[in-house]
């Protein structure tokens, strides 16, 4: 279900430079869904990944009280694609036990964010 929602979100990707379309769907601890897609820019470094777009949208929609339960990510090329390091750090910020579902080497896999990003940087 979360993967289907992420696939719908992927349709909105703005990726004219890489042509790599990504969609993300997140499930909050209280059962709400939020989505995001990657948004690229001619100044390449300003690109934002689908995962962070979804999470930042959700922070706004939950009045800053976001707690993540799961994050799913899909891509239009159906190739292995786990969240980048920056997205892992942002996912960890909003839920140390978040389940992350992504396309692994063969099929979709689920891993906890604590396994994907051990020794997460925290200030609290």
Contact residues: ligand THU, CB under 6 A: 15, 18, 20, 22, 38, 40, 47, 49-51, 73, 81, 83-84, 87
Written as six digits, the tokens of 94 are 């909003």
E strands, 2-46, in order: 22-28, 33-37
Minimum distance between the CB of residue 17 and ligand THU, rounded to whole angstroms? Answer: 7
Closest CA to 23 of 77, 94, 86, 85: 77
Of the two residues 65 and 84, which places its CB atom closer to ligand THU in the complex? 84
Of the two residues 2 and 22, which places its CB atom closer to ligand THU in the complex? 22
Would you name the residues annotated as active-site residues?
A: 51
Question: Residue 44 class from Cβ within 10 Å (0-12 exposed, 13-18 middle, 19+ buried)?
Answer: exposed
Minimum distance between the CB of residue 4 and ligand THU, rounded to whole angstroms? Answer: 18
Written as six digits, the tokens of 76 are 């239009």
Of the two residues 87 and 117, which places its CB atom closer to ligand THU in the complex? 87
């Amino acid at each position: 279900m979360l993967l289907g929602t992420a696939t719908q979100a992927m349709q909105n990707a703005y990726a004219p430079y890489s042509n790599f379309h990504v969609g993300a769907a997140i499930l909050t601890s209280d059962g709400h869904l939020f989505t995001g897609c990657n948004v690229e820019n001619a100044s390449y470094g300003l690109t934002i990944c689908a995962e962070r777009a979804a999470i930042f949208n959700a922070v706004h929609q939950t009045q800053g009280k976001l707690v993540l339960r799961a994050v799913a990510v899909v891509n239009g090329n159906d190739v292995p694609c786990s969240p980048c390091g920056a997205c892992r750090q942002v996912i960890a910020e909003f839920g140390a036990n978040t389940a992350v579902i992504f396309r692994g080497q063969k099929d979709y896999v689920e891993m906890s964010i604590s396994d994907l990003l051990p020794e997460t940087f925290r200030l609290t």
